[in-house]
C-alpha cells in the first residue's frame, strides 16, 4: 500500500469505520487513476505578489441577445487583464434559488449563462476559482427527485429526521426551520435544510456522497479550476446531540480532499469558506494539511467599524493578533463579496454597543440585516446586506463628501495586508445598493448582486466624472502598482504598528528582505500629521511614496495625510536588508 493509500485508508476508517473502508479507498484510487492525466509537478510557490482575484457572478455583465459568460469574458479581456490573475466565477451551474448556490446539476453550465467553452475562454486569460457547493443541493436536482421517488442513488443522499427531533443544539446561520417537510412516495418526510427549504443538506454519512463529490471537484480541475472553494463547509457533517458545525469528520473530509489534490493536481489550491470567529475560521488550516487558504472574514466588519468611527484602534489590535500561518497557507483578503458583511467574525472583538451602532448605520445607508437563530431560541444578527460603496457614503455621524476616498481607503487596507486580495466586481465598479433587485427577488442579499448592462457600465467607466470611473481607475492604478512590489508577496513579513488611533499602519518586508513598504491609511475625516522618525525603525529612510501623492515637508520628517488618504512608503535600509518583520 502506498503512503497515499495509507493516509486515505486512515481517513476513511475515521469517517466510516472498518467494514467497507478498503472498498471505499479502492473507489477513491479509481477516481485518482481516472484523472491521472491532470497531474503536474508541484510548483515551487502557489502564489506571488502578482496575484489578485476578482469575484463575480457569471451573469454580472449582460447584453441583450448575448450569453452572459461571453459578455463577462469581453469585459474581463478589455478592462481587467492587467489587474487580476484569477477570476472567481460564482456558481454558474443550473440552479433554482440563491443566485446559484442551490445547484440543480453540478456538472453542467447553466444554459442561460453559456457553455463550458465560454468558461474555458475566460480560463485562457485568467486562472479560475470554482465553487464546490458541497453542503446542500437544490430540491429540483435529480438527486432530490430520486429521494422523493425512493430511487437510488438520491434516496440515500439526504438526511431524514422525525418531525419532533430535538435539534436545538444545532448552530444555524439562518432563522428558518431546520427540518423541512417534503411529500414523497413514502409519505411526508422531514429533511435537513441548514440554509433554506430549497437547499437540502447532503448526507455525507453515506460514503457514496463523498465519492460523488470527489469526482465532481476533479472534473472542475479537468476544465481548468486552479482554485476550489468549499462553500459552507463548516456545516458538512451532521450528528445529533452536537452543534453540527466544525465537527471532526468535517475536518477529515477536507484533509481527504487535500490528499487527493496533492496526488492528482498539486498546483490546485483548496479554499474553505467559513463565516465564523477567527479561531474557528483558521481551524481549517489544520496542521497545514487542510485548506491552503481561508477567507479573512474578520477584515470586512473590522474595516467598516474603523471607517465609521474614524478610529483604527480595534482594527489595529485585531490585525496585530492574527495568528501565525502554517507553512504553505495564506489568507484570502476581501472587504465585500456576493454575501453580506459578517457579524459573527467580530464576536468578542468589538464592544456590543459599537456593533449595534455599525448595524444601525448600515440600515441608515439603505442596507439590511440577516438574522440567525441561536441554540437558546433567540435571534441575533448574522450579516449586514449592503453595497460596500453605499455603506461608506458616510461615517456613523451621517453622510458626507468623503464617500469615494473613504471607499478607496477600505480597498487599500485590503491590498496592503498579508495574503491575497480579492476584489468584488461591485467594488471595482462602485455599484450602489440595488433595492430594485431586492424587490424583484425578495432576498436581502440581492442588494449587492447587481447585473450590469455592458453598454451602461462602459458609458459610466468612460465618463471620468462618475464615481464608477473614479473608483475603477484608482483601483486599477493601485493594483498595477501593487503587483510590482515583492513586499506584497502573500507570504512576506507583516508588522502592524500603533502610533495614532486615526491611522492603520502595516509594515511589509519582502521574502528576500530587500524591500520594505509601510502602508498608512487615515481612517478618519480629519487631517493627520505623523513624525516619520516615529514611524521608521532604526536606520530606515523613506525613498518614495509608491502612490506618488503624499506630502512630506522639506526635512522629510512630517507626513501630512488628508482625510482617508493612504500611502505606500517605499523605505530603504542602510544594510540593504531587514530582519525584524514576522
- Where in the sequence numbering do the catalytic residues fall? 231
Report how far apart the first and last C-alpha atoms of the chain are (Å, whole number). 41
Q: Are 367 and 386 in contact (CB under 8 A)?
A: yes
Residue 155 main-chain phi, psi, to 5 deg: -65, -20
Q: Which residue has the cell 483578503?
A: 333
Q: Residues 6 or more apart from 384 whose CB is under 8 A from it?
A: 301, 304, 340, 341, 343, 358, 359, 362, 367, 368, 369, 370, 391
Q: How far is CA 400 from the centre of its chain?
A: 30
Q: Which residue has the cell 481527504?
A: 256
Instruction: List helix spans (H) across 310-419.
Output: 313-320, 352-364, 388-391, 403-416
Question: Of 102, 60, 55, nearest to 83 (Cα)?
Answer: 55
Question: Of 329, 295, 331, 335, nearest to 315 (Cα)?
Answer: 335
Query: Quick one: cell of 207?
Result: 460514503
Query: Quick one: cell of 30?
Result: 479509481
Q: Are 539 and 382 in contact (CB under 8 A)?
A: no
Q: What is the rounded distance in angstroms from the CA atom of residue 153 to the CA atom of residue 215?
A: 15
Q: What is the rounded distance in angstroms from the CA atom of residue 300 to the CA atom of residue 293?
A: 17
Q: What is the rounded distance in angstroms from the CA atom of residue 321 to the CA atom of residue 326?
A: 15
Q: Are 91 and 129 in contact (CB under 8 A)?
A: no
Burial of 496 (0-12, 13-18, 19+ CB in 10 A): buried
Query: Quick one: cell of 425?
Result: 466586481
Q: What is the rounded distance in angstroms from the CA atom of residue 409 to the CA atom of residue 471?
A: 11
- Core vs surface per residue 519-538: b (16+ CB within 10 A) or e: bbbbbbbeebebebeebbee
**Whole-number CA gyration radius for the chain:** 24
The three-class DSSP label of residue 303 is: helix
Report the interhelical angle of 207-222 vs 21-34 (nearest 10°).
10
Q: What is the rounded distance in angstroms from the CA atom of residue 457 to the CA atom of residue 462?
A: 9
DSSP 8-state symbol, 196: B
Q: Are 426 and 450 in contact (CB under 8 A)?
A: yes
Instruction: List helix spans (H) across 81-138.
Output: 116-123
Q: Which residue has the cell 485562457?
A: 124
Q: Which residue has the cell 413514502?
A: 186
Amino acid at each position: 500500500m502506498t503512503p497515499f493509500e495509507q493516509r486515505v485508508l486512515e481517513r476513511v476508517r475515521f469517517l466510516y469505520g472498518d467494514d467497507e473502508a478498503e472498498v471505499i479507498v479502492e473507489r477513491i484510487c479509481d477516481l485518482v487513476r481516472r484523472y491521472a492525466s491532470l497531474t503536474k509537478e508541484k510548483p515551487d510557490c502557489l502564489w506571488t505578489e502578482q496575484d489578485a482575484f476578482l469575484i463575480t457572478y457569471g451573469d454580472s455583465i449582460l447584453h441583450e441577445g448575448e450569453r452572459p459568460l461571453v459578455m463577462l469574458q469581453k469585459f474581463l479581456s478589455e478592462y481587467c487583464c492587467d489587474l487580476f490573475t484569477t477570476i472567481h466565477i460564482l456558481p454558474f451551474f443550473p440552479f433554482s434559488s440563491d443566485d446559484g448556490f442551490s445547484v440543480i446539476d453540478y456538472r453542467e453550465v447553466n444554459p442561460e449563462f453559456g457553455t463550458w467553452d465560454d468558461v474555458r475562454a475566460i480560463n485562457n486569460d485568467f486562472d479560475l476559482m470554482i465553487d464546490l457547493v458541497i453542503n446542500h443541493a437544490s430540491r429540483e436536482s435529480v438527486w432530490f427527485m430520486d429521494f422523493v421517488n425512493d430511487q437510488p442513488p438520491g434516496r440515500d443522499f439526504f438526511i431524514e429526521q422525525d418531525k419532533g427531533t430535538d435539534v436545538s443544539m444545532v448552530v444555524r446561520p439562518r432563522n428558518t426551520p431546520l427540518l423541512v417537510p417534503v411529500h414523497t412516495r413514502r409519505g411526508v418526510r422531514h429533511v435537513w435544510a441548514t440554509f433554506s427549504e430549497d437547499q437540502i443538506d447532503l448526507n455525507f454519512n453515506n460514503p457514496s456522497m463523498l465519492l460523488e463529490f470527489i469526482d465532481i471537484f476533479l472534473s472542475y480541475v479537468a476544465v481548468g479550476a486552479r482554485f476550489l472553494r468549499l462553500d459552507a463547509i463548516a456545516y458538512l457533517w451532521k450528528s445529533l446531540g452536537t452543534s453540527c458545525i466544525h465537527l471532526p469528520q468535517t475536518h477529515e473530509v477536507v484533509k481527504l480532499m487535500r490528499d487527493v489534490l496533492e496526488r492528482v493536481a498539486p498546483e490546485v489550491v483548496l479554499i474553505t469558506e467559513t463565516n465564523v470567529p477567527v479561531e474557528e475560521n483558521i481551524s481549517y488550516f489544520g496542521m497545514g494539511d487542510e485548506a491552503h487558504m481561508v477567507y479573512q472574514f474578520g477584515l470586512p466588519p473590522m474595516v467598516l467599524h474603523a471607517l465609521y468611527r474614524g478610529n483604527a484602534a480595534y482594527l489595529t489590535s485585531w490585525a496585530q493578533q492574527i495568528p501565525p500561518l502554517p507553512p504553505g497557507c495564506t489568507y484570502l483578503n476581501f472587504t465585500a463579496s456576493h454575501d453580506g458583511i459578517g457579524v459573527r467574525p467580530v464576536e468578542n472583538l468589538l464592544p456590543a454597543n459599537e456593533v449595534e451602532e455599525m448595524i444601525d448605520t448600515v440600515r441608515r445607508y439603505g442596507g439590511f440585516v440577516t438574522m440567525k437563530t441561536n441554540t437558546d431560541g433567540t435571534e441575533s444578527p448574522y450579516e449586514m446586506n449592503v453595497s460596500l460603496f453605499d455603506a461608506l457614503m458616510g461615517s456613523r455621524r451621517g453622510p458626507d463628501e468623503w464617500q469615494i476616498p473613504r471607499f478607496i481607503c477600505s480597498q487599500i487596507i485590503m491590498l496592503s495586508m498579508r495574503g491575497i486580495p480579492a476584489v468584488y466586481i461591485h467594488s471595482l465598479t462602485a455599484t450602489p445598493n440595488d433595492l430594485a433587485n431586492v424587490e424583484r427577488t425578495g432576498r436581502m442579499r440581492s442588494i449587492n448582486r447587481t447585473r450590469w448592462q455592458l453598454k451602461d457600465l462602459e458609458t459610466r467607466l468612460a465618463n471620468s466624472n462618475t464615481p464608477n470611473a473614479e473608483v475603477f481607475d484608482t483601483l486599477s492604478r493601485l493594483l498595477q502598482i501593487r503587483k510590482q512590489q515583492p513586499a506584497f508577496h502573500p507570504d512576506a513579513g507583516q508588522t502592524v504598528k500603533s502610533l495614532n488611533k486615526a491611522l492603520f499602519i502595516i509594515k511589509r518586508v519582502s521574502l528576500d528582505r530587500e524591500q520594505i513598504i509601510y502602508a498608512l491609511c487615515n481612517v478618519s475625516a480629519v487631517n493627520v500629521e505623523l513624525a516619520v522618525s516615529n514611524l521608521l525603525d532604526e536606520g530606515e529612510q523613506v525613498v518614495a511614496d509608491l502612490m506618488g501623492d503624499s506630502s512630506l515637508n522639506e526635512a522629510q520628517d512630517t507626513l501630512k495625510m488628508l482625510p482617508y488618504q493612504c500611502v505606500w512608503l517605499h523605505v530603504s535600509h542602510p544594510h540593504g536588508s531587514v530582519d525584524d518583520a514576522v
